[in-house]
Chains A and B, each alone.
Chain A
Amino acid sequence: DIQMTQSPSSLSASVGDRVTITCHTSHNVNRYLNWYQKKPGKAPKLLMYTAYTLESGVPSRFSGSGSGTFFSLTITSLQPDDFATYYCQQSFRTPHTFGQGTNLEI
């Protein structure tokens, strides 16, 4: 199985800050890398796919980069609605493993 390592596990930030979350994969996944946002009691929400393609309706303050084994998700100018847990996921091969999550707190 492809192992996913997200960093950091938790992050404290303020409204207006810029934050970056990283995701390292144990195997080259090319750009088969997705990012999701998860809030308690809500369904996961797709933010980014193919490493840097913004899902329709997702604000442009979210951006992604990377390929191969190292990826990042950046949120510029944090908004109150952005405080949530973020997960990376590889869809290169099954099982489509997720990272352990990054809890972004105010």
Chain B
Amino acid sequence: DVQLVESGGTVVQPGGSLRLSCAASGFIFSSFGMNWVRQAPGRGLEWLSYISSTNVTIKYADSVKGRFTVSRDNALNSLYLQMDSLRDEDTAIYYCARYSLEYNGYGRDDHWGQGTLVIVS
């Protein structure tokens, strides 16, 4: 079974840094792009970043560009999100998601982790 397990969430002060991890299993990690998505308390889902299967393509939402860095280690089946210059508004549950692509380019997040809570305070 596909499994994604996030870790690293904790309480951090404004201006601080944090690194989230997402451990993948049950599929060929190196064949899939991955996304980070978050949900702030009482708010909706917010897409944050995408990294392609081979690190060639990396994209960010404007809200985190320049502060967050996504990376992956295919040998360790792991995805990471380095979060710097954290702000109060970064308080949220952070999810990693597997991005599945159809042959015709249609993509969707078909498997998600349970999330890890980051509190900036």
Interface residues of A (CB under 8 A from B): 1, 31-32, 34, 36, 38, 42-46, 49-50, 55, 85, 87, 89, 91, 94-101
B62 within 8 Å of A by Cβ? yes
> SS class of chain A's interface: helix, strand, loop or mixed?
loop
Interface size on B, residues (CB 8 A): 25
- Excluding A43-B115, A94-B59, A99-B44, 6 further A-B contacts by CB distance (< 8 Å) are A44-B45, A46-B108, A50-B106, A91-B106, A95-B47, A98-B44
Report yes or no: B45 in contact with A43, Cβ–Cβ below 8 A: no
- Tell whether A49 pairs with B45 under 8 Å between CB atoms, given A43-B95, A43-B115, A44-B37: no
A38 to B46, CA, bound (A): 13
B1 within 8 Å of A by Cβ? no
Report yes or no: B112 in contact with A45, Cβ–Cβ below 8 A: yes
Report yes or no: A44 in contact with B107, Cβ–Cβ below 8 A: no
